[in-house]
């Protein structure tokens, strides 16, 4: 055999080994997810014991586990995306932190809003047990399928809105349009606009303040030593209030007066702790924006972890709310949902599923939110995280239903569009673009007007990718009606299967 023939054979073998390795990696995540679902089904069968409705609970446990995986894969990216996109965290570090804090939030403080899933969406939730079980099962499966599709195409959507759409569609299929609480659905629809706009505006405001107080000053180091502790204090106070009112609501429900007092106390503690830390970190630091931005890295990581804890506490209900309602109905024999029980094993399926879904399928959406919408650094990502917490607090105080997903993504859009506006404004006052990275070979022989026009086009493309704006907005708008349509179809199908 000639040497060239031997080399070709070795290349074929090497290529086959590489293809086999890539295939095994692509099958590993679905395989692990399948094992989790099987364990969840077995766990559910032992938890409820043998009875006429055991098989229904097992099927519902499989669907709930599937939904929890999708919540972790899609929703959690909103908290960790900015931290990864700004390079404050590696992907592995973000997955570890998010998995720990999501599970902790779900297990320690999760499930407070389980009853809301059915009670607030349907005017007459008291229906016969069989119909109620089929409605909840259809809603859960439809929302899981829709979120899975959104994750596959790379669109961050609201899992809460998916569940709302699922309950809406199955409820209409079972009892007609009169069963729906339309004012509540109208409020949900309003949140499509309110959530991203509030998140984007607040993130832009925070970025403007940081630019005015730190990054546009001549002596950035001195300004940072004064103002970074202030921003850390604001973050500490806001997150103390956020966790007290939202993240820990299952174990403790303080009034707004106590929550505000906690915010002041933790804000002062944050300021005291940040002062010496900032002075130490800024020693021998160059007076450049890039270096000053590093001072926001640790606060950003802490805020991302706290957002994950609060998300686990609140949004675990999207995975286990309908499931808990099914378990309660099977055990009690009627469809009254005013007092849905929440066994620990039900909560554990949601908590483990969210963390596992994040670890197995989350990186794609994390990259979408953190890297593909606009370019982030530690300061911009910090503004987005702080905006998310402040927006949820304001909305809770005003009684407005908002989506944490829409807020987080809207905040990223907000800082991107603000930078785009500032860039355009600066270029309008410049006869010839002076930023060397915007000038390519073709621009060297162009007139000043042509070079300026080309520079604007490049800058616009780099700062905010319009295709993501349109695709994500479209996914948000159709989430509720799409989940409702799928849920209605599933209701009729499951009604025939379950008899």
Judged by average pLDDT, the poorest of 33-37, 294-298, 310-314 is 310-314
The DSSP symbol for 254 reads -
Gyration radius (Cα) of the chain, Å: 25
Q: What is the pLDDT of residue 487?
A: 95
| Residue 444, domain member (yes or no) | no
User: Is 443:454 a contact under the CB 8 Å cutoff?
Assistant: yes
Q: CA–CA separation, 454 vs 192, rounded Å?
A: 35
| Six-digit token string for 493 | 């199908």
Q: What is the pLDDT of residue 272?
A: 96
pLDDT in tens, 367-401: 888 888 888 999 999 999 999 889 888 887 776 76
pLDDT bucket at 205, cuts 50 / 70 / 90 = very high
Q: CA–CA separation, 378 vs 384, rounded Å?
A: 10
| Six-digit token string for 20 | 């086999």
Q: What is the pLDDT of residue 68?
A: 93
How many residues are given for the chain? 499
Mean pLDDT of 339-364: 86
Q: CA–CA separation, 411 vs 413, rounded Å?
A: 5
Higher pLDDT residue, 102 or 429? Answer: 102
| Residue 234, domain member (yes or no) | yes
| Residue 5, domain member (yes or no) | no
Q: CA–CA separation, 118 vs 324, rounded Å?
A: 11
**pTM for this entry:** 0.82
Other beta carbons within 10 angstroms of residue 101's beta carbon come to 24
Q: What is the pLDDT of residue 184?
A: 76
| Residue 228, domain member (yes or no) | yes
Mean pLDDT of 332-353: 76
Enclosing domain of residue 204 = 30-428+464-498
Judged by average pLDDT, the poorest of 105-119, 272-286, 351-365 is 105-119
Q: What is the pLDDT of residue 435?
A: 43
Q: CA–CA separation, 44 vs 395, rounded Å?
A: 37
Asked whether the predicted pLDDT for residue 21 surpasses 50, the reply is no
| Residue 25, domain member (yes or no) | no
| Residue 377, domain member (yes or no) | yes
Q: CA–CA separation, 303 vs 286, rounded Å?
A: 26
| Six-digit token string for 75 | 């929703």
Judged by average pLDDT, the poorest of 124-133, 156-165, 224-233, 407-416 is 124-133
Number of domains in the chain: 1
| Residue 421, domain member (yes or no) | yes
| Six-digit token string for 316 | 């675990």
Q: Which of 74, 53, 159, 137 lies closest to 324, judged by CA?
A: 137
Higher pLDDT residue, 121 or 44? Answer: 44
Other beta carbons within 10 angstroms of residue 475's beta carbon come to 19
Mean pLDDT of 202-209: 96
Helices (H), 333-362: 344-361
Q: What is the pLDDT of residue 433?
A: 45
The DSSP symbol for 288 reads S
3-state secondary structure of 90: coil
Q: CA–CA separation, 477 vs 192, rounded Å?
A: 7
pLDDT in tens, 244-298: 887 666 667 778 888 899 999 999 999 999 999 999 999 988 999 889 999 999 9
Asked whether the predicted pLDDT for residue 86 surpasses 70, the reply is yes
| Residue 113, domain member (yes or no) | yes
Q: What is the pLDDT of residue 436?
A: 40
Asked whether the predicted pLDDT for residue 332 surpasses 90, the reply is no
Cα-based distances in Å from 154 to 183, 185, 293: 31, 26, 29
């Amino acid at each position: 055999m000639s040497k060239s023939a031997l080399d070709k054979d070795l290349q074929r073998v090497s290529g086959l080994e590489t293809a086999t390795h890539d295939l095994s990696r692509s099958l590993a995540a679905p395989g692990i997810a399948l094992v989790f679902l099987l364990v969840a089904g077995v766990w559910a069968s032992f938890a409820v014991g043998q009875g006429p409705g055991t098989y229904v609970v097992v099927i519902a446990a499989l669907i709930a586990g599937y939904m929890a995986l999708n919540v972790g894969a899609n929703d959690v990216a909103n908290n960790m995306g900015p931290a990864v996109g700004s390079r404050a965290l590696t992907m592995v570090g973000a997955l570890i932190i998010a998995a720990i804090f999501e599970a902790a939030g779900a297990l320690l403080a999760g499930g407070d809003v389980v009853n809301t899933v059915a009670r607030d969406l349907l005017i007459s939730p008291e229906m016969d047990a069989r119909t109620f079980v089929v409605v909840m099962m259809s809603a859960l499966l439809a929302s899981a399928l829709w979120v899975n599709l959104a994750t596959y195409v790379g669109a961050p959507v609201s899992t809460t809105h998916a569940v709302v759409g699922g309950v809406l569609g199955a409820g209409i299929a079972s009892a007609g349009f009169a069963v729906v609480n339309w004012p509540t659905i109208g409020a949900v629809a309003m949140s499509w606009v309110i959530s991203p706009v509030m998140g984007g505006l607040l993130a832009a405001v925070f970025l403007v303040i940081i630019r005015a107080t730190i990054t546009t000053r001549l002596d950035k180091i001195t300004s940072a030593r004064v103002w970074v502790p202030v921003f850390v204090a604001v973050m500490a106070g806001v997150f103390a209030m956020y966790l007290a009112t939202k993240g820990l609501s299952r174990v403790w429900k303080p009034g707004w007066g106590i929550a505000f007092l906690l915010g002041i106390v933790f804000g002062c503690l944050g300021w005291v702790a940040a002062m010496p830390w900032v002075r130490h970190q800024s020693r021998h630091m160059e007076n450049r924006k890039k270096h000053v931005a590093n001072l926001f890295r640790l606060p950003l990581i802490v805020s991302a972890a706290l957002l994950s804890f609060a998300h686990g506490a609140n949004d675990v209900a999207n995975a286990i709310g309908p499931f808990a309602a099914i378990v309660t109905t099977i055990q009690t024999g009627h469809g009254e949902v005013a007092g849905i029980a929440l066994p620990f094993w039900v909560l554990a399926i949601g908590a483990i599923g969210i963390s596992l879904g994040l670890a197995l399928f989350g990186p794609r959406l994390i990259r979408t939110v953190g890297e593909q919408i606009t370019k982030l650094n530690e300061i911009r990502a910090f503004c987005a995280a702080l905006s998310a917490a402040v927006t949820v607090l304001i909305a809770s105080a005003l009684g407005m239903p908002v989506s944490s997903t829409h807020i987080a993504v809207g905040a990223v859009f907000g800082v991107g569009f603000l930078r785009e506006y500032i860039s355009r404004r600066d270029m309008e006052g410049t006869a010839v673009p002076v930023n060397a990275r915007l000038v390519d070979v073709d621009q060297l022989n162009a007139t000043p007007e042509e070079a300026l026009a080309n520079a604007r086009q490049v800058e616009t493309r780099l700062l905010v990718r319009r295709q993501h704006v349109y695709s994500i907005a479209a996914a948000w708008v159709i989430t509720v009606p799409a989940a409702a349509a799928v849920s209605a179809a599933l209701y009729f199908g499951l009604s025939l299967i379950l008899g």
